[in-house]
Amino acid sequence: MRAEGGRSRNGAPSSIDLLLTDARILDVFSGEIWRGDVAVAEGRIVGFGAPRAENVRDLDGRWMIPGLIDAHVHIESSQLVPREFVCAVLPHGTTTAIADPHEIANVLGLDGVRYMLNATSGLPFRAFFTAPSCVPASPFETPGAVLGRNEVEEMLRWDRVIGLGEVMNYPGVVRGDPGVLAKLIAATGLPIDGHAPGLAGPDLWAYVSRGPRTDHECTTLEEAREKLRAGMHILIREGTATRNLDTLLPLLTERTAPFVHFCTDDRHPETLIREGHIDGLVRRAIAGGARPDVAVAAATIHTARAYGLADLGAIAPGYRADFVILSDLQTVRVDEVFVNGVRVAADGACLVDVPHGSDEDVRRTVRVDPGRLSFRIRSEGDRAAEARVIRVAPEQVVTDEVRLVPRTADGEVVADLGRDVIKIAVVERHRGTGNVAVGLVQGFGLLHGALASTVAHDSHNAVVVGVTDSDMRVAIAELVRIGGGQVVVADGEVVAVLPLPIAGIMSDRPLDDVASAARELKLAAGRLGCTLPAPFMTLSFISLPVIPHLKLTDRGLVDVDRFRPVSLFV
């Protein structure tokens, strides 16, 4: 919002648009809750009272807190386009988000980031972005785009791009890789988000010294304390798969609140429905013993200040009139939500008809010729040759490597249901290179059919697992037909599908539709024998070669621990 201001900020408000009376106002500066009135004009709070107003609303002693801020989110992980994401989170009191669009950037590069900016423009929501710093995440895969220093510099010049996105390549930072350092230098003086799971001691000091000043990857309190001491703001994350609030909550005190914030990072539709958004984190923080004013301040003024958003995060003159009316502070019961002084949500429902922008440029991103696909694996001449098999575990993004002699038939490797080993393939889908890498995976429990998805971090190629090559081919063909998404195939037929036509990773439907389609996918997978509680989540991390231990990209297997490609057969 820094580029605005101007006349509406410095000119005299001609009249008061809205006067809210008898509110219990949470003053984030002092922590006090006081009973009073709030006047709004031209989208901003202009004072604590007014002799007259166009509209007067009596809040009857209900609580009023600033609009909540998600300090770090990948909107794409909601599988919702920005307008539907906004409609999903506004009723939970989130009025601002700092989003890293690195998922769509891996598919569409700068065009993808531009789409996210355009798609959030004109919404009753403040979406700020960080320039993705690590596209692609590794050199072992074929993404839709590569963002170098020049692209980062270009994005940093765009309005609403406020800093550098999570610098996941922490080994590169610590080693001093010129390409990574160039991006950090480009962002000197701006907020730089970190991502450094487990980093400690001298490596942590080197990482922080070079610029990143936040971390949302702490999984132990000890790790968070060390990073806070090193000057990092700690973003307490509650995603769908990664949940750190219970562990990290003791870090949040009245003393540390300026440096501790809340984020959702990756939150899937079903979690948005079941647990809400930042309101859920604040609620659980309070239930866990945080003082309400401290938890709210962490999620509002202190996040705004940490990211240089001068006019957000407080109920005070000159601030944007973004606020939340609660019927109960202790349990964060959201009644109504206002942005720019306009009521945008009430009783859990989004009240705004958010405009549909053009999204033609971000459709039809799955460029694969299904007719030319082959998932054959020739068996090695040596019948005792061991293969490297990816072993997945329920609700884990980390995989293991197991070695076993695969089952063969007619000189080709085939599924081995007795040992729960099936084929997996990653199909390059951005550039039509024809790259297909085929491997073996253990742990899905699939007895027949195939599962496929174009949501596959971070390059978002098409990933498919299946018992037969033919079902795998049908699954990929369906993804091509619908322009990306997630699909379950059995006996040559599509039995469940979630179309994600926007860049192959986002739906154009509302939250409830997406969540119910996702449920259908899970049930269909279960009917095929799949034993994983979240098979498509597991699938989506199986090709991310920056998470241990054995991963498959469109170019083949990667031993993440040694950070190098390896062959299927040992």
Cα separation, 61 vs 345, whole angstroms: 19
Applying CB under 8 A, does 225 fall inside the site for a second copy?
Answer: yes
Contact pick of 16, 19, 26, 46 for a second copy (by CB under 8 A):
46
Q: Which stretch binds a second copy (CB under 8 A): 47-55, 125-133, 142-150, 398-406?
A: 47-55
Query: Using the rule CB under 8 A, is 52 a contact of a second copy?
Result: no
CA–CA distance from 533 to each of 51, 215, 396, 416, 421 (Å)?
59, 28, 11, 21, 18
* 48 lines the binding site for a second copy (CB under 8 A): yes
CB of 344 to a second copy, least distance (A): 22
The DSSP-derived string for 77-92 is GGTB-HHHHHHHHGGG
For a second copy, the binding residue among 22, 34, 288, 434 (CB under 8 A) is 34
Closest distance of CB 229 from a second copy, Å: 5
- DSSP state letter for 39: E
Q: Which stretch binds a second copy (CB under 8 A): 30-38, 87-95, 136-144, 437-445?
A: 30-38
In terms of CB distance, is 46 or 438 closer to a second copy? Answer: 46
Provide, rounded to whole angstroms, the least separation between the CB of residue 258 and a second copy.
Answer: 5
> In terms of C-beta distances under 8 Å and separation of at least 24 residues, what long-range contacts does 109-114 make, across chains too?
109/135, 109/144, 109/145, 109/146, 109/147, 109/151, 110/145, 110/147, 110/151, 110/154, 110/155, 111/361, 111/362, 112/144, 112/145, 112/362, 112/503, 113/155, 113/158, 113/161
32 lines the binding site for a second copy (CB under 8 A): yes
SS3 content of the chain, % helix, strand, coil (to 5): 30, 30, 40
If one asks whether residue 188 binds a second copy (CB under 8 A), the answer comes out as yes
Q: Considering only residues 122, 289, 317, 432, which one is a binding residue for a second copy as defined by CB under 8 A?
A: 317
Helix (H) or strand (E) holding 23: strand 18-26
205 binds a second copy (CB under 8 A): yes
Q: How far is the CB of 28 from a second copy (least distance, A)?
A: 9
Question: Cβ neighbours of residue 66 under 8 Å, at least 6 residues apart?
Answer: 26, 28, 296, 300, 301, 312, 313, 314, 315, 319, 322, 323, 324
Backbone angles phi, psi at 471, to 5 degrees: -65, -35
Contact call for residue 371 and a second copy (CB under 8 A): no
Contact letters for a second copy, residues 286-315 (x by CB under 8 A):
-------xx-------x--x--x-x---x-
Inter-residue contact 120 to 357 (CB < 8 Å): no
Q: Does the footprint of a second copy cover residue 11 (CB under 8 A)?
A: yes
| Angle, alpha carbons 416-419-424 (nearest 5°) | 55
How many C-alpha atoms does 148 have within 13 Å on its Cβ side? Answer: 3
Q: Which is nearer to a second copy, 255 or 383 (CB)?
A: 255
Report the distance separating Cα 107 and Cα 504, nearest Å. Answer: 8
- By C-beta, is 255 or 562 nearer to a second copy? 255
Find where tokens 């720019």 sit.
340
Give me the least distance between CB of 318 and a second copy, in Å please.
4
Find the binder of a second copy among 29, 146, 348, 393 (CB under 8 A).
29
* String of contacts with a second copy for each residue 232-261, x by CB under 8 A: ----------------------xxx-xx--
Residues near a second copy (CB under 8 A) are 2-3, 5-7, 9-13, 27, 29-32, 34, 44, 46-49, 176, 181, 184-185, 188-189, 202, 204-206, 208-211, 213, 225, 228-231, 254-256, 258-259, 293-294, 302, 305, 308, 310, 314, 316-319
